[in-house]
Amino acid sequence: MYHRVLLAITKLRIFSLLSVFLLSSLFSVSSFAANSIDGIRVWPAPENTRIVFDVRQKPEYKYFTLTNPHRLVIDFSNTKNTVALKNLAANDPRVKLFRSSINKGKTRLVLELAQSYQLTVFPLAPAGQYGNRLVIDLYDKNRSKKNISKPKQTIGDIIIGIDAGHGGEDPGSIGGKGTYEKRVTLAIAKKLQTLINKEKGMKAVMIRSGDYYVNINRRTSLAREKNVDFFVSIHADAFHTPGPSGASVWVVTKRRAESELAKWLLNREKKSELLGGGGGVIKNTSDSHLALALADMSKEHSLGVSFGVANEVIKELKKITKMHKKTPQNGNFGVLKSSDIPSILVETGFISNHNEEKNLTWSKHQQRLAKAIHRGIKNHFLAHPLTGSYFASVGYKKHKVRSGESLSVLAKRYNITMSKLKAINNLKSNSIRIGQTLKIPRTG
pTM of the model: 0.72
Strand bridging mode 61-66 / 158-164: unpaired
Q: Tens-digit pLDDT profile for the chain (444 aa)?
A: 545 544 454 454 544 544 444 444 444 444 446 899 999 999 999 999 999 999 999 999 999 999 999 999 999 999 999 999 999 999 899 999 999 999 877 899 999 999 999 999 999 888 777 889 999 999 998 765 444 444 444 458 999 999 999 999 899 999 999 999 999 999 999 999 999 999 999 999 999 999 999 988 889 889 989 999 999 999 999 998 999 999 999 988 656 544 544 454 444 334 333 333 334 444 444 444 444 444 445 556 778 889 999 999 999 999 999 999 999 988 777 777 676 789 999 999 999 999 999 999 999 999 999 999 999 999 999 888 888 888 887 777 788 999 999 999 998 888 888 888 888 888 889 999 999 999 887 754
Query: By the 8 A CB rule, do 189 and 143 touch?
Result: no
DSSP 8-state class, residue 247: B
Q: How many CB atoms neighbour CB 32 within 10 A? A: 18
Task: Name the packing angle between helices 181-198 and 363-383 (round to 10°).
Answer: 50
List phi, psi (to 5°) of 28.
-65, -45
Of 152, 151, 192, 187, whose CA–CA distance to 166 is shortest? 187
Query: By the 8 A CB rule, do 71 and 115 touch?
Result: no
In sequence order, what E strands does 114-252 have? 118-124, 132-139, 158-164, 202-206, 230-237, 248-252
Q: How far apart are CA 418 and CA 437, in angstroms?
A: 16
Burial class (CB in 10 A: 0-12, 13-18, 19+), 235: buried
Region at 439 (left for phi over 0; alpha for psi -120 to 50; beta for the rest): beta
What's residue 153's pLDDT? 45
**Which residue ranges form the domains of the chain, and what is each CATH number?**
35-145 (2.60.40.3500), 152-383 (3.40.630.40), 395-441 (3.10.350.10)
User: Quick one: CA dihedral 194, 195, 198, 203, positive or negative?
Assistant: negative
Cα dist. 230→286, 345, 356, 395, 443 in Å? Answer: 30, 11, 28, 17, 25
Query: By the 8 A CB rule, do 186 and 167 touch?
Result: yes
Q: Which residues of 134-151 are buried (b: 16+ CB within 10 A; e: fewer)?
A: bbbbbbbeeeeeebeeee
What's residue 384's pLDDT? 84
What's residue 333's pLDDT? 77
Strand bridging mode 35-44 / 79-81: parallel
Q: How many CB atoms neighbour CB 13 within 10 A? A: 10
Q: How far apart are CA 346 and CA 234, in angstroms?
A: 5
What's residue 50's pLDDT? 93
List phi, psi (to 5°) of 317.
-65, -35
Query: By the 8 A CB rule, do 188 and 164 touch?
Result: yes
What's residue 18's pLDDT? 46
What's residue 300's pLDDT? 67
Of 299, 235, 314, whose CA–CA distance to 264 is shortest? 299
